Amino acid sequence: MSASLARHIATRLGTAIGVLFAAATLAFLLVRLSGDPVKQLLPPDATAAQEATLRHQLGLDQSTLAQYGDYLWGLLRLDLGDSLVYNEPVSQVIADRIPATLELAAGALVLSLLIAIPAGIYAAMRRGRAGDTGVMTAVLLGQSTPPFWIGILLILLFSVQLKALPASGYGTFAHLVLPAVTLSVYSIAVIARLLRSSLIDVLGSDHIRTAKAKGLGPAKVVLAHGLRNASLPTVTVIGLEFGGLLGGAILTEQVFSWPGIGRLTVEAISHRDFPLVQAAVLFFAAAFVIVNLLVDLSYSLLDPRVRDRA
């Protein structure tokens, strides 16, 4: 590994840690800005003594700086406190919900790649023709349609009209189908659009012309020479779009009552379960940072131009 690559990785790691620190601070501040949690948690007729007890239990009788210090120290030990609603450590509450969210995300990702890659290649090869216009119109539709509306339409069609798939719940493959389709629509649109435009760029370059001149068929040219180069920018932007996917997961889980972290977050915000909200915000930020770090590092390892520039 060259020194410049090591420096590049170190910079990226530094940014990732900075983002996580900012996320942690933001989560801490949001909870404090929202007014007195004790007043919000207790009924209006609670006595001053009850308030004082709860304040002490939550550690809110200390100065803000001391609370912030405790909070950061807890973070380092992965101790984020107990959920006010579930009465167990928030890390446990979140860990219980991770499998459901992972299942949904994996289902959506597989579906996205299966549909978006052929669609992007097809549109690029048919540039300017009816097939391209068709794909690009579908892309525009997919990017403009909010996931909860897609989910409702799918429930209406497949659960209410055809009675083919369950409208909510979790556990079997049939339960996964509609939520995964709902969540995948946006990423299908993003990936297909990007792959198309990067392929079009690559297909205009010299080495493709050479490949064609050698007498290779169009499929071989695209698959063997075009796709590999076009996939690099696409992979990078998929990492950046991961945040959109997380937002989509929050909405999708809500539509289908999917017992994942997105729905947990919305519930925690509604119930003002502030330790849980802090942990959920951090979880999402960490997921985003880790995915982008991996994408970024794989990109700089794969592409010598990035490696040298770094």
Partner 1 sequence: MTRTLIRNRLALVALGVLALLLVAAAFSPLLAPDDPAKQDLLARLKPPAWSDGGSLAHPLGTDQLGRDLLSRVIYGSRVSLLVGIGAALLAGVVGAAAGLFAGFRGGWLDRVLMRFADIQLAFPSLLLALAIVGFLGSGLWNVVLVLGFTGWVSYARVVRSEVLSLRTRDYVTQARATGVTDLTIMRRHLLPNVLPPLATIATLHIAAAIVAEASLSYLGLGVPKETVTWGSMLADGQLYLGTSWWVAVFPGLALMFTSLAINITGDALRDVADPKAYRR
Which residues form the interface with partner 1 (CB under 8 A)? 15, 18-19, 22-23, 26-27, 30-31, 33-34, 140-141, 143-146, 148-149, 152-153, 155-156, 159-160, 167, 197, 200-201, 240, 243-244, 246-247, 250-251, 254-255, 265-266, 269-270, 277, 281, 284-285, 288-289, 292
CB atoms within 10 A of CB 8: 19
Beta carbon nearer to partner 1, 87 or 270? 270
> What number of residues does the chain have?
310
Contact indicator for 93, 81 with CB cutoff of 8 Å: no
Beta carbon nearer to partner 1, 2 or 40? 40
231-236: long-range contacts, CB 8 A cutoff, minimum separation 24: 231/195, 231/198, 232/198, 232/299, 232/302, 232/303, 233/194, 233/198, 234/120, 234/191, 234/194, 234/195, 234/198, 235/295, 235/298, 235/299, 236/295, 236/296, 236/299
Smallest distance, Å, CB 240 to partner 1? 8
Smallest distance, Å, CB 266 to partner 1? 5
* Alpha-carbon Rg for the chain in angstroms: 24
- Separation CA 239–CA 244 (nearest Å): 10
Beta carbon nearer to partner 1, 204 or 304? 204
Backbone angles phi, psi at 171, to 5 degrees: 140, -45
Beta carbon nearer to partner 1, 2 or 34? 34
Contact indicator for 88, 277 with CB cutoff of 8 Å: no
Contact indicator for 73, 308 with CB cutoff of 8 Å: no
Smallest distance, Å, CB 280 to partner 1? 8
Smallest distance, Å, CB 62 to partner 1? 20
Beta carbon nearer to partner 1, 91 or 197? 197
Smallest distance, Å, CB 47 to partner 1? 26
Helix (H, G, I), strand (E, B) or coil at 38: helix
Smallest distance, Å, CB 201 to partner 1? 8
Beta carbon nearer to partner 1, 115 or 139? 139
Beta carbon nearer to partner 1, 57 or 168? 168
Smallest distance, Å, CB 271 to partner 1? 10
Tokens of 259: 């017992």
Cα separation of the two ends of the chain: 12
